A and B are shown apart, each in its own frame.
Chain A
Amino acid sequence: MGSPLVREALKVSAVSSGISMALILTLGLPTAYFLAHSNWRGKIFLDTLLDLPMVLPPAVAGTALLLAFGRSGPVGRWLSEIGLVIPFSLLAVVMAQTFVAAPFFIRSAKSGFQAVDRNLEQAAQTLGKTPCQVFWRVTFPLSLPSLVSGMIMSWARALGEFGATLVFAGNMPGRTQTLSLAVYTAMETDFPAAMVMSALLVIVSFVVLMAVKLLAGKGLG
């Protein structure tokens, strides 16, 4: 437990999945709202594109990210000109997690938004509320259960991310080695550490899931 390998992996996992979640929430919320409410004709295309990472094998997702953001990739080349190299950094871990986990949140949030009765939103508007106020006072509280469950699913997916991270971010202890990668590595070198980390993942996941469920049960009915 006290070994630096475990501590560092735990830190990388906590930091990266935390940042990923923040990213997923800020980007996913408006995207999901847009998908739920707009009548744009290209919507189905965007919708499918966003679901894609969910069905792709994670290794393929990692390869795709590497091809796009790698030093010779179309985006990566431009980024490296301004001095930003993404692959095999903590940023890469975050990107891999976000890429793979975001669809879970977006899907759930979208169906949550869609399930809110349009009449309620219209009623709020006739009661003098701007669309923004309508969102925070009606749509958001009513879809909160979906948002929370989407967040849990998404976070669980990010924490367990393995394939895409391995391909795109590598497996460097202390920098890009997350818990799940560390477990895999330790399996061959330090089996007790692997067991400890596995147990840790199980316990942490269990506690977080249950805490959220308890919270949800209290506040959301």
Chain B
Amino acid sequence: MLEVQVKKKFRSFTLDLELSAGNELICLLGPSGAGKTTLLHMVAGLMEPDEGLIRVNNKSYFQKPAGARRGRQLPPYRRRVGYVFQNYALFPHLTVNQNILFGAKGSMDETRQEASYLVNLLRLRGLEQRKVTELSSGQQQRVALARALITRPDILLLDEPFSNLDELIRRKLRLDLLRVHRDFRIPIMMVTHDLEEASTLGEMVAVMDSGRILQVGTREEVFYCPRSRRVARFVGMKNIFDGRVAEVKPEENLLKVAGDKFNVCLPYHPCRVGDRIVFGIRPENISLVRNGAELGKRGENNVLKGRLVEMIPEGPGYRLFLKTTADTYDLEILIPSRIALKHQLTVGKELSVTLRKTALHLLRED
């Protein structure tokens, strides 16, 4: 259980945010300087907020009502927080085993057993007597995790845990982290600016910018229904357009929109004819239409025609850039390579695409 509601003034921005969660894995997503690390420092007690409260597992870590002169700030060593630093912060003068045991409490037998369990869980068997400076960064990362977990923390904080690792190790470590989360059943708060990481790991995603949480919710909510244009940009929605409401039909669950570049139909949303709106769709929700294929109800499918101006291989597929009007590309589309092959795509080809109505999402202007 985690409950945070803090404010702190800095020279360049003010941190002001509220967040509560159960035992989920929360990804803090946002550009550098958004205050993500600062938030972790506050939960760990390494930095004191100006006012607010922080509670973990019904234990008050910090409490200072607005305007109060003195608050209650539990020092870091009396909190039960596991913190994995971005540079791992392993003690260079100690061995792997000594690092892991550094924060251990309780009898020798108990801690030895605990350490042995963590060594297995995090695939560190055989490295116990090594100096930490001799380890690879992936191994260091796992030692840092084990060292934090041996204290049996009530919450685990990870500051960009995978940023210094190559892709393969990163994937393995994500699985390790999910295993840790399953075994320990504690909230994990993780800072990242990697979209893929946030979408594979984050049961909950909090999008942050300049000291505020712009949106917090499940990964589906945040990635597919971003609340505002800014959030939509952060989560890679890519296709964001302005338009004006042309027709409102609640009984048909329909909103006809005269976009600045093309006309589309959206699911119904209470608004009036003539309202300016912003809407968007994720690149993977746009699909290609085979030439001559019959389409059902036109309104459900929003068929657009355009010319392919660029195609870039990305992961197991292609990212296409489509031009529907005269200026630069208008639509970004992500398709599996199987589809690309079937359509025999080449730059310059004329294509029809469909924007599924239910995937089109109305955004709030900010």
**Contact, CB under 8 Å: B151 / A127:** yes
Does B243 interact with chain A (Cβ within 8 Å)?
no
Segment 134-156 of A: residues with Cβ below 8 Å from B: 137-138, 141-142
Does B91 interact with chain A (Cβ within 8 Å)?
yes
A77-121 vs B, Cβ < 8 Å mask (1 yes, 0 no): 000000000000000000000000000000000000000010110
**Contact, CB under 8 Å: B81 / A126:** yes
Contacts of A117 in B (CB 8 A): 87, 89
B77: which of A119, A125, A141 is its contact (CB, 8 Å)? Answer: A125
**Contact, CB under 8 Å: A129 / B91:** no
**Contact, CB under 8 Å: A130 / B77:** yes
A137 CB to nearest chain B CB (Å): 8
Does B76 interact with chain A (Cβ within 8 Å)?
yes
C-alpha gap A131/B81 in the complex (Å)? 16
Does A122 interact with chain B (Cβ within 8 Å)?
yes
A-B contact count (CB 8 A): 59
Contacts of A131 in B (CB 8 A): 77
**Contact, CB under 8 Å: B91 / A120:** yes
A127: which of B46, B92, B147 is its contact (CB, 8 Å)? Answer: B147
Choose among A117, A122, A131 the residue with the greatest number of B CB atoms under 10 Å from its CB: A122
A56 CB to nearest chain B CB (Å): 37
**Contact, CB under 8 Å: A122 / B92:** no
**Contact, CB under 8 Å: A127 / B148:** yes
Does A186 interact with chain B (Cβ within 8 Å)?
no
C-alpha gap A103/B89 in the complex (Å)? 31
Contacts of B105 in A (CB 8 A): 128
Contacts of A122 in B (CB 8 A): 44, 46, 76, 83, 85, 89
Does A124 interact with chain B (Cβ within 8 Å)?
yes
**Contact, CB under 8 Å: B85 / A123:** yes
Contacts of B75 in A (CB 8 A): 125, 130
C-alpha gap A3/B75 in the complex (Å)? 62
Contacts of A124 in B (CB 8 A): 91, 102
Choose among B78, B87, B92, B105 the residue with the greatest number of A CB atoms under 10 Å from its CB: B92
Contacts of B82 in A (CB 8 A): 126
Contacts of B45 in A (CB 8 A): 125-126
Instruction: Name the residue of chain B whose CB is nearest to the CB of A141.
Output: B93
Choose among A126, A128, A129, A137 the residue with the greatest number of B CB atoms under 10 Å from its CB: A126
A129 with B85: in contact, given A124-B102, A142-B92 (CB under 8 Å)?
Answer: no
Instruction: Name the residue of chain A whose CB is nearest to the CB of B81.
Output: A126
B91-105 vs A, Cβ < 8 Å mask (1 yes, 0 no): 111000000001101
**Contact, CB under 8 Å: B93 / A119:** no
Contacts of B92 in A (CB 8 A): 142
A138 with B76: in contact, given A125-B46, A127-B151, A129-B103 (CB under 8 Å)?
Answer: no
Contacts of B102 in A (CB 8 A): 124, 127, 129, 137
Instruction: Name the residue of chain B whose CB is nearest to the CB of A119.
Output: B89
A112 CB to nearest chain B CB (Å): 13
Segment 226-275 of B: residues with Cβ below 8 Å from A: none
C-alpha gap A126/B76 in the complex (Å)? 5
Contacts of B44 in A (CB 8 A): 122, 126
**Contact, CB under 8 Å: B76 / A119:** no
Contacts of A129 in B (CB 8 A): 77, 102-103
A215 CB to nearest chain B CB (Å): 16
C-alpha gap A178/B87 in the complex (Å)? 51
Instruction: Name the residue of chain B whose CB is nearest to the CB of A125.
Output: B76
Q: Known A-B contacts: A126-B46, A128-B103. Give 12 more (CB < 8 A).
A: A120-B89, A120-B91, A124-B91, A124-B102, A125-B46, A125-B77, A126-B45, A126-B76, A127-B77, A127-B103, A127-B148, A127-B151
Q: Contact residues of B with A, CB < 8 Å?
A: 44-46, 75-79, 81-83, 85, 87, 89, 91-93, 102-103, 105, 147-148, 151
A-B residue pairs, 10 tightest by C-beta: A127-B103, A119-B89, A123-B89, A125-B76, A126-B83, A119-B85, A141-B93, A128-B77, A128-B103, A125-B77
